[in-house]
Amino acid sequence: MKRAIFPGSFDPLTNGHLDIIKRSSPLFDEIIIAVLNNPEKNPMFSVEERCELIREILPEIETGKCDLIVDSFSGLTADFARKSGAAAIVRGIRAVADYEYELRMALMNRRLEPQIETVFLVAAEEFSYVSSSLMKQVFTLGGRVEGLVPAQVEAKMREKLKS
Ligand code: PNS
């Protein structure tokens, strides 16, 4: 049984994240989408809201025999990966600019938990510029983000803006 975690802030989930989940699903039997509880970062969505949104969207994607689980965590990703019994940490690379930061994290996580490998997957070109923070900024300023985030995410961002 090969288990991986896909950690992130997911504030909110984008189509780029979904692309990475789809791409990683043939490699593992189970992937835990691990949502970081980071209230100090002043997220747009609470960790509960982010998990709920992801749980609503995941059934729509085709992942074959791979089970997808949504969970939240606080503290170190490496600790969460070990406690989950994961063999790997999945991260997406969109462009060269991501690599330096991701490499530092992968090396630190390996130092903390040497038996857990980081697996980098290359995101689809069409999502190479998509990040949660860019989506929030553009949407908040009245720009269109359709096709870049799931429709449910767009609807929830609209609700947030109104409230
Ligand atoms: O989606 P993000 O914001 O790029 O995800 C970053 C994340 C959550 C993977 C990273 O910030 C993280 O692992 N945070 C948990 C704390 C931790 O383990 N820090 C040391 C990383 S080497």
Give 112-154 pLDDT, tens digit per residue: 999 999 999 999 999 999 999 999 999 999 999 999 999 999 9
In this predicted model, what pLDDT tens digit does every residue of 41-63 receive, in sequence order?
999 999 999 999 999 999 999 99
pTM of the shown model: 0.97
**H helices within the chain, ranges in order?**
15-24, 47-57, 77-84, 96-112, 132-140, 151-162
The domain that contains 26 carries what CATH number? 3.40.50.620
- Whether residue 12 contacts residue 157, with contact meaning beta carbons closer than 8 Å, is answered with yes
In this predicted model, what pLDDT tens digit does every residue of 90-108 receive, in sequence order?
999 999 999 999 999 999 9
Question: Does ligand 1 lie within 6 Å of residue 43's CB atom?
Answer: no
In this predicted model, what pLDDT tens digit does every residue of 31-44 receive, in sequence order?
999 999 998 999 99
Give the number of domains in the chain: 1
Question: Does ligand 1 lie within 6 Å of residue 31's CB atom?
Answer: no
Q: Is the pLDDT of residue 77 over 90?
A: yes
Domain with 141 in it: 3-162
Catalytic residues: 17, 41, 94, 132
Res 163: pLDDT: 83
Nearest in space to 49 (alpha carbons), one of 11, 98, 7, 86? 11
